[in-house]
Structure 1
Amino acid sequence: MLDGTYTAVVDRIEEGTATLELEAEGDLYALEVEASELPPEARTPDAVLEITVADAALADVTYEAAETTDRASEAQRRFDRLSKRPPRDEE
């Protein structure tokens, strides 16, 4: 993984380990860190973070509350659209 600053999403937290997913130079990466390294409000799946990676390790992390909310709202809107029943021919 390349050192730098990225947008990451918490994929899962299992047994105290958080798996973050991020994209760098067109490739997808998973970075595993101790969940305790994340801000408390970011210790949940789908939380959006701005992270800095140095020497292949998490150097800094910021929870992006607004981006997390925006992504969740957009996902819900897509789900709602998909779950609507298509009209019948006679409707």
Structure 2
Amino acid sequence: MTDSYTGVIDRIEEDTAVLLLEAGETREQLELDPAAIPDAGYHEGAVFEVELSGETLERIEYRPETERERHERAQDRFDRLSERLDEE
């Protein structure tokens, strides 16, 4: 059985890439060999579609559009909070 997740690179260390996996409200952490990360997504905050069979990585696909959308939503939230602080 294969499970699908959205994965976000939390950090890249010397010999490990740490992805935070999301499936609905479920959040897990997955440690991978950095060589398994596609070159285009080899940076913190990169977003992937990840498929696991048990604990075995079956597929990882970089999703730059999803990454951009998430970044824009986060920036919008930050801007709204900043405006409220400026009003006080």
Aligned amino acid, residue 16 of structure 2: T
Gaps of 5+ in 1: none
Q: Which stretch has the larger CA shift, 59-68 or 2-11?
A: 2-11
Write out the 4+ residue segments of structure 1 that deviate beyond 2 Å after TM superposition. Answer: 23-27
Q: Give unmatched runs, 5+ long, in structure 2.
A: none
Distance, in Å, in 2 between the alignment partners of 1:71 and 1:24 is 15
| Cα distance change of structure 1 residues 82 and 63 upon mapping to structure 2, 3 Å threshold | same
Per-residue deviation, residues 7-64 of structure 1 (Å, max 9, x unmatched): 1111111113111111347432100001110111211111110011123021211001
Question: What residue is the counterpart of 2:87 in the other structure?
Answer: 86
- The Cα shift of 1:77 comes to 1.3
Amino-acid identity (%): 36
The number of residues matched between the two structures is 86
Calculate the aligned-residue CA RMSD, in Å. Answer: 1.9
Instruction: Name the counterpart of 1:42.
Output: 41
Residue type at the aligned position of 1:86: E
When normalised by structure 2's length, the TM-score is 0.83
TM-score (norm 1): 0.81
